Structure 1
Amino acid sequence: MFLKNLLVSWNKISLVKQIIIGLIIGIILAVALPTQLAGISILGQLFVGALKAVAPILVLFLVMSAISQHKSGQKTNMKSIIVLYLLGTFLAGLAAIVASFIFRIKLVLPGGTEEIAAPQGLFEVLRDLIFKIVDNPINAISSANYIGILAWAILLGLALKFASEHTKDVISDISVAISQVVKWVIKFAPLGVMGLVFDAISTTGLKSLLDYGKIVALLVGVMVFVALILNPIIVYLTIHRNPYPLVLRCLRESGITAFFTRSSAANIPVNMQLCEKLDLDKDTYSISIPLGATINMAGAAVTIAVLTMAATYTLGITVDLPTAVILSFLSALSACGASGVAGGSLLLIPLACSLFGIPNDLAMQVVGVGFIVGVIQDSCETALNSSTDVLFTAAADIREKKKKA
């Protein structure tokens, strides 16, 4: 009876509060009993694994269903959303460059990372991105290649426009069923976050970050600036009203889970559910959210720009204003090509470093610094990237509804 009452009381608490409770418990257990309760970390692995497993199928059927049932003349806001995605990513990279000019931080290069494979040029990054579009559909789903999944979902959706209404209803019913599975998975978010934070603190700790405190502070500072100043300005110019209620809700309900899962792909189901709560157009967000997980990479642009600029200061290379602007564009383009790759933004640092003639072996040492600070950098980067997917989708939707009103 006690357990039943406890479960009823627990279900009355909002998901965000449940996640915060799970977070606090995870921190306490990691500090108090890091070795005795090591098995708790498996909860985080299971949660992230479940999200990653369901997300590709969710995207495939949602996009297929949305396109197959789309009526001629029915408008979506994809053009506006893509513009917001690309603008936000570029301005984030530019903000990182400006911050790096103000705070000229040098790195302690660790060495020993030359064996990591990194792209050799922007052409290679863009080529890989294009080849992902024509990936085998089964492979695209199994490898969580969202560009490929989107391409196949759009093609199948267009083909299904000519199918019978019964077939369209079946596709729609499957997408509804998968969405329900997602809701069940998300109910376990508090346990998942508890396991993730326990694993992070008990195994990595924060000691290793002390030597790199300045670069961590700069990376996190720029990302916070983008999240709380730059993005709200972009949203205000789009919807012409106070953006902060929407900004803070996206950070709270999307950013927190993304921070701990450290995966934009795993956070797609969370973002889909938030879009549903915000009553956004399903035809739009079913495409814009998985697309955002691919090309809306403000956090990645910040990481690439800050670490590249730090490398130039470390090596005594002078950076002029025109080159800095080029680096902003390069950071944004590289960030768009970093999707779906573990540590993808870090592996594109050598590409940005090549702009200043920095040798690959030294550039890979900068990548090593990125992996050292990754426990914080990657979490903040993913939280910024993923929460902004919903933010810009919602902003475009609100603007469209104001036009119709």
Structure 2
Amino acid sequence: MSTSANHGPVLRYIKHGSLVSQIALGLVAGIALAYFFPSAAQSVALLGELFVRGLKSVAPLLVFVLVLSSIANHRKGTNSNMGRVVALYLVGTFLAALLAVVASFLFPVTIQLKEVEQILTPPESISEVLLTVLLNVIDNPVHALLEANYMGILAWAIALGIALRSAGEMTKEVARSLSDAVTFVVRLVIRLAPLGIFGLVASTIATTGFSALKDYTLVLSLLLACMVVVALVINPLIVWTQIRRNPYPLVFTCLRESGVTAFFTRSSAANIPVNMALSKRLRLNEDIYSVSIPLGATINMGGAAITITVLTLAAANSLNITVDMGTALLLSVVAAVAACGASGVAGGSLLLIPLAASLFGMPNEIAMQVVGVGFVIGVVQDSAETALNSSTDVLFTAAASIHEEQR
């Protein structure tokens, strides 16, 4: 009886506790094990390997189902004012990805990757990249899923999604239900992140030394710096083009009343009620914000675009891949498109890194190591990313609404 009572809170914490605190605990435990018992740290590498393999197995299906369902269920004939909001979402996401490319060129960072030299054949030019993309796009869909060919997966998901837009509601509901089911499986895998991070960190530090921690810190710093620049420079400039007056009072209101809440909830979807209430207090056009806020939680993903781009280029730097300007621009486009399909689960943007990494010929095994690094720094990164994404939903909605009023 007493044993059960003592174990009750522990089991409740494991099942229902904050994933952020559990990942932080796994991170600290992994560092401690590697420092005090380096030989034992090598033995827990299996935990990290299982976690990475779980991500690797579910990611291709997740990308396929999410994109297909999103396109198939897109509503036709929505309010014409929504066009401006959607345009702001897409421009903001692309500029965030482009900023991440520029920042990664100016301040290149690297990450620790295992055994990659023998299996990597990096592209030599933008023409080779485009040829590879074209060949991957026309791949057999089953083969694309089996081999984690993300370009092929994306192409087939878009094509089938467009075809299903004219399907009956029951068919679309099946697509939605399948998307929810795959997302549920992803949530189960991500709940194992604390154990996976424990194994990854312990084995990596035991093998490479504490230099890996320095790499994590530098990558995280670059990510956060890019997000701050987007929030305080790029987004205000975009808003100014719409309202033609000082955008910062509106920017700071959105960051304070939406961004702070999103930072702690770590879910754009969970922050939708907060954003709806804020839009109402700002006296925005309800016909616009009632649609744009839920839509923004799905496609307005500037923070995710930054994460995908920075981590992909960090991996490219680690592998000594030379990235020319044409490929960098293509990466910005791919990262922006991938970000728009990011899952609503914590760390969802990380699962789309393989899509961007495929531009450089990186095998899925390497891309998933990069995803693992993302989960290590995700304690802070995911919170900052969500804060930027969610606050920008209200900001761009307000900019479009004010622009309409001024016409």
TM-score in terms of structure 1 length? 0.62
Matches of 2:174 and 2:354 in 1, distance apart? 32
Kept after mapping to 2: 8 A contact 1:89/1:301: yes
Instruction: Give the conservation status (yes or no) of the 8 Å contact 2:267–2:345.
Output: no
Equivalent residue number for residue 124 of structure 1: 153
Distance 2:297 2:393 in 1: 7
Question: How far off its partner does 1:353 sit?
Answer: 1.1
Report the CA distance between 1:142 and its aligned residue. Answer: 10
3-state DSSP of counterpart to 1:373: helix
Which secondary structure does the structure 1 equivalent of 2:343 belong to? coil
Aligned partner of residue 266 in structure 1, secondary structure:
coil
Q: What does 1:323-334 correspond to in 2, within 5 Å? A: 323-334=327-338
Q: 2:249 aligns with which of 241, 245, 251?
A: 245
After TM superposition, give the deviation of residue 125 of structure 1 in Å.
Answer: 3.3
More deviation in 338-347 or 232-241? 338-347
Which among 214, 221, 242 is matched to residue 218 of structure 2? 214
Query: Amino acid of the residue matched to residue 218 of structure 2?
Result: K
The CA RMSD measured in Å over matched residues stands at 3.5
Change (3 A) 1:363 1:42: closer
* Aligned counterpart for 1:80 among listed residues 75, 78, 84: 84
Q: How does 1:264-303 map to 2 (within 5 A)?
A: 264-303=268-307
> 1:37-69 deviations in whole A, cap 9, x for unaligned?
x97x96979xxxxxxxxxxxxxxxxxxxxx99x
Partner of 1:182: none
Structure 1, gaps ≥5 residues long: 1-34, 46-66, 112-116, 146-199
Offset of residue 126 of structure 1: 5.7
Whether contact under 8 Å (2:346, 2:382) holds in the other structure is no
- Residue in 2 aligned with 1:263? 267
Please list the CA deviations of residues 292-336 of structure 1 after superposition, one character each: whole Å capped at 9, or x if unmatched.
Answer: 111111011101110111111100010011110000001001111
The alignment status of 1:92 with 2:121, answered yes or no, reads no
Task: Name the structure 2 match of 1:344.
Answer: 348
Q: What number of residue pairs does the alignment pair up?
A: 283
Per-residue CA deviation, residues 260-299 of structure 1 (Å, 9 max, x unaligned), is 1111111111111111111111111111111111111101
- The separation in 1 between residues aligned to 2:326 and 2:387, in whole angstroms, is 30
2:266–2:346 CA contact under 8 A, matched in 1? no
Whether the 8 Å CA contact 1:93–1:332 is kept in 2: the answer is yes
Given that 1:305 and 1:328 are in contact with CA atoms closer than 8 Å, whether structure 2 keeps it comes out as: yes
Q: Distance in 2 between matches of 1:126 and 1:385?
A: 25
List aligned pairs for 1:6-405, cutoff 5 A.
Answer: 77-109=81-113, 120-125=149-154, 127-128=156-157, 131=161, 136-137=172-173, 140=176, 210-211=213-214, 212-403=216-407
Letter of the 2:233 partner, please give it. Answer: I
C-alpha displacement of 1:123? 4.3
Q: What is the deviation of 1:343?
A: 2.5
Structure 1 Cα separation of the partners of residues 340 and 151 of structure 2: 11
**Which ranges of structure 2 fall in alignment gaps of 5 or more residues?**
1-8, 20-75, 116-145, 182-193, 203-211
TM superposition shift of 1:118:
9.7
CA distance in 1, matches of 2:348, 2:154: 11
C-alpha contact (below 8 Å) 1:144/1:265 kept by paired residues = no
Q: Which amino acid aligns with 2:320?
A: G
Measure the CA separation in 2 of the matches of 1:118 and 1:288. 36
SS in 2 for 1:348: helix
Classify 1:140/1:351 alpha carbon distance in 2 versus 1 (closer, same or farther; 3 Å). Answer: closer
User: How far is 1:370 from its partner?
Assistant: 0.6
User: What percent of counterpart residues are identical?
Assistant: 55
* Matches of 2:99 and 2:347, distance apart in 1: 21
Would the aligned equivalents of 1:118 and 1:350 in 2 still touch at CA under 8 Å? Answer: no
Mapped contact 2:148–2:364 kept (Cα < 8 A): no
